[in-house]
């Protein structure tokens, strides 16, 4: 990929992403200051991920708020493709979803697309994917969702909950639509081609559970948007409200130019890493710094492309501290070693604590599964 080209699909994110262009390309809306004000009226405070524009785009969030103000509750819906271990980048939208659950007092459906990840990967056996399913569920529970208001739906196990709806959806989506929206090729296996209705189906499950039209709000990274585009097109035809979305950006990885990949473990901090690994990964991280201290003092560094900066900004720094860090980085006052040390000091206790919650989650799994 050359220059400033980028691609974003549900299965691959590449290049330097221009989020404004992406909003145009996908036809979503940026979150406006007015919308933030409306959210603030209900939540009492704005989550840092909204303030700092980690969640930056939406579809119909305004409608969800209007219904909520009238006393009509929505459901939250999000999910996880169990293709590997969970890293800090995965946690951000989940932490945000938990905040929405708390502030709005609403139910959540959490889908695990083990089918999708089995079909997508040439190497993974179904057993491999199932192992990740069980492991990932511990991470999801450790985030702290309300067990009384949260159901985890495992596609291969709970298919009967969604199969009838997915048939209604599948019947109304043509091959030429999914080919255009998802970029399927003649060589794509037909399991993948038939998968989108399975991820669409939980959008309508709340209406069935509640016995009346009940919209969903989907907090997710913007790469999942193609699913919701096709779902929105057919929703009203089959008598359900269109699903609404709130979209996040991506957390850059610790690899060169923000690469993060579960297949290159050095590029991400996993929830199961020990303190030594966390230290080492951060020490070796790519940054926006200059090759030498002298050059950095003189020219300053580029926090925009620096994963260390973004990890600190989204997880640990206050808005004020983060802005100050950005200023000092640009001016050359701050060296990369200092930011790395700050991140190490913050990430280590975070991971230690998360691991404890993950252990405790083992006793809670039953409460979260569909009966
Ligand atoms: N396809 C998603 C992934 O690979 C998992 C998923 C299923 C999801 N349903 C969702 C993500 C709803 C966000 C919202 O990770």
Q: Please tell me the distance from the alpha carbon of residue 303 to that of residue 306, in angstroms, as a whole number.
A: 5
DSSP letter at 269 equals -
Backbone angles phi, psi at 153, to 5 degrees: -110, 115
pLDDT at 331: 97
Q: Please tell me the distance from the alpha carbon of residue 3 to that of residue 77, in angstroms, as a whole number.
A: 36
pLDDT at 255: 83
The residues that bridge with 246 in the sheet, in sequence order, are 58, 219
Candidate from 15-19, 324-328, 337-341 with smallest mean pLDDT: 15-19
The verdict on the CB of residue 89 being under 6 Å from ligand 1 is no
Pair 74, 64: CB distance under 8 Å:
yes
Closest protein CA for atom 11 of ligand 1: 79
CA nearest to 114, candidates 157, 169, 167: 157
The verdict on the CB of residue 231 being under 6 Å from ligand 1 is no
Q: What's the burial of 2, exposed, middle or buried (CB within 10 Å: 0-12/13-18/19+)?
A: exposed
Q: What confidence tens digit (pLDDT) does each residue in 348-357 have?
A: 999 999 999 9
DSSP letter at 334 equals S
The verdict on the CB of residue 245 being under 6 Å from ligand 1 is no
Q: Please tell me the distance from the alpha carbon of residue 255 to that of residue 11, in angstroms, as a whole number.
A: 19
Q: What confidence tens digit (pLDDT) does each residue in 212-246 have?
A: 999 999 999 999 999 999 999 999 999 999 999 99
Q: Please tell me the distance from the alpha carbon of residue 331 to that of residue 296, in angstroms, as a whole number.
A: 8
Pair 279, 344: CB distance under 8 Å:
yes
pLDDT at 259: 64
Which pLDDT band holds residue 202 (cuts at 50, 70, 90)? Answer: very high
Distances (CA, A) of 189 to 145, 163, 195: 35, 20, 10
The verdict on the CB of residue 220 being under 6 Å from ligand 1 is yes
Q: What confidence tens digit (pLDDT) does each residue in 71-107 have?
A: 999 999 999 999 999 999 999 999 999 999 999 999 9
How many C-beta atoms lie closer than 10 Å to residue 117's C-beta?
Answer: 22
Closest protein CA for atom 8 of ligand 1: 79
Which pLDDT band holds residue 51 (cuts at 50, 70, 90)? Answer: very high
How many C-beta atoms lie closer than 10 Å to residue 300's C-beta?
Answer: 19
The verdict on the CB of residue 306 being under 6 Å from ligand 1 is no
The verdict on the CB of residue 224 being under 6 Å from ligand 1 is yes
Q: What confidence tens digit (pLDDT) does each residue in 304-335 have?
A: 889 999 999 999 999 899 999 999 999 999 99
When pLDDT is averaged across residues 253-258 and rounded to a whole number, the result is 78
Q: How far is the CA of 276 from the centre of ligand 1 (A)?
A: 31
When pLDDT is averaged across residues 126-132 and rounded to a whole number, the result is 98
Q: Token pair of 279, please?
A: 């230290």
Pair 109, 205: CB distance under 8 Å:
yes
Q: How far is the CA of 116 from the centre of ligand 1 (A)?
A: 9
Q: Quote the mean pLDDT of the chain.
A: 94
| pTM (predicted TM-score) | 0.95
Candidate from 14-18, 53-57, 108-112, 302-306 with smallest mean pLDDT: 14-18
Which pLDDT band holds residue 4 (cuts at 50, 70, 90)? Answer: low
The verdict on the CB of residue 247 being under 6 Å from ligand 1 is no
Helix, strand, coil share of the chain (percent; to 5): 55, 15, 30
CA nearest to 143, candidates 90, 87, 95, 84: 95
Q: How far is the CA of 110 from the centre of ligand 1 (A)?
A: 9
Task: Compare 57 and 266 and report the one with higher pLDDT.
Answer: 57
Pair 173, 201: CB distance under 8 Å:
no
pLDDT at 371: 80
The verdict on the CB of residue 81 being under 6 Å from ligand 1 is yes
Q: What confidence tens digit (pLDDT) does each residue in 140-179 have?
A: 999 999 999 999 999 999 999 999 999 999 999 999 999 9
Residue identified by tokens 């997915």 is 166
Closest protein CA for atom 6 of ligand 1: 79
Backbone angles phi, psi at 71, to 5 degrees: 95, 5
Percent of the chain residues past pLDDT 70, beyond the cut: 97
pLDDT at 10: 85
Q: What is the chain's length?
A: 371
How many C-beta atoms lie closer than 10 Å to residue 215's C-beta?
Answer: 24
Q: What confidence tens digit (pLDDT) does each residue in 276-308 have?
A: 999 999 999 999 999 999 999 999 999 988 999
Q: Residue 16, SS3? A: coil
Q: Please tell me the distance from the alpha carbon of residue 354 to that of residue 361, in angstroms, as a whole number.
A: 10
């Amino acid at each position: 990929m050359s220059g400033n080209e980028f691609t974003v699909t549900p299965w691959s994110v590449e290049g330097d992403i221009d989020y404004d262009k992406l909003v145009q390309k996908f036809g979503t809306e940026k979150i406006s200051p007015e919308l933030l004000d409306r959210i603030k009226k209900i939540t009492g405070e704005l989550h840092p991920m909204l303030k700092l524009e980690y969640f930056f785009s939406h579809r119909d969030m305004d409608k969800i708020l209007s219904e909520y103000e009238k006393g009509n509750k929505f459901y939250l819906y999000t999910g996880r493709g169990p293709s590997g271990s969970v890293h800090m980048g995965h946690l951000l939208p989940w932490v945000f979803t938990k905040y929405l659950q708390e502030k709005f007092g609403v139910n959540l459906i959490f889908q695990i697309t083990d089918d999708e990840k089995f079909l997508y990967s040439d190497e993974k056996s179904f057993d491999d994917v199932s192992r990740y399913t069980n492991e990932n569920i511990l991470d999801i529970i450790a985030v702290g969702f309300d067990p009384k208001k949260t159901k985890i739906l495992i596609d291969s196990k709970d298919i009967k909950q969604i199969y009838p709806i997915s048939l209604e959806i599948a019947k109304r989506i043509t091959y030429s639509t999914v080919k255009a929206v998802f970029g399927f090729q003649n060589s794509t296996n037909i399991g993948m081609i038939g998968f989108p209705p399975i991820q669409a189906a939980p959008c309508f499950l709340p209406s069935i559970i509640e016995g009346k039209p009940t919209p969903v709000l989907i907090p997710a990274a913007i790469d999942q948007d193609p699913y919701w585009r096709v779902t929105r097109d057919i929703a009203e035809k089959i008598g359900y409200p269109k699903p609404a979305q709130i979209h996040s950006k991506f957390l850059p990885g610790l690899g060169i130019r923000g690469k993060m990949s579960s297949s290159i473990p050095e590029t991400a901090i996993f929830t199961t890493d020990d303190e030594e690994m966390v230290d080492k990964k951060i020490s070796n991280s790519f940054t926006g710094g200059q090759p030498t201290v002298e050059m950095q003092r003189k020219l300053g560094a580029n926090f925009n492309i620096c994963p260390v900066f973004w990890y600190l900004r989204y997880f640990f720094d206050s808005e004020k501290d983060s802005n100050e860090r950005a200023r000092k980085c640009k001016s050359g006052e701050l060296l990369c070693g200092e930011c790395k040390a700050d991140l190490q000091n913050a990430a280590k206790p975070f991971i230690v604590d998360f691991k404890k919650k993950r252990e405790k989650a083992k006793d809670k799994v039953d409460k979260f599964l569909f009966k």
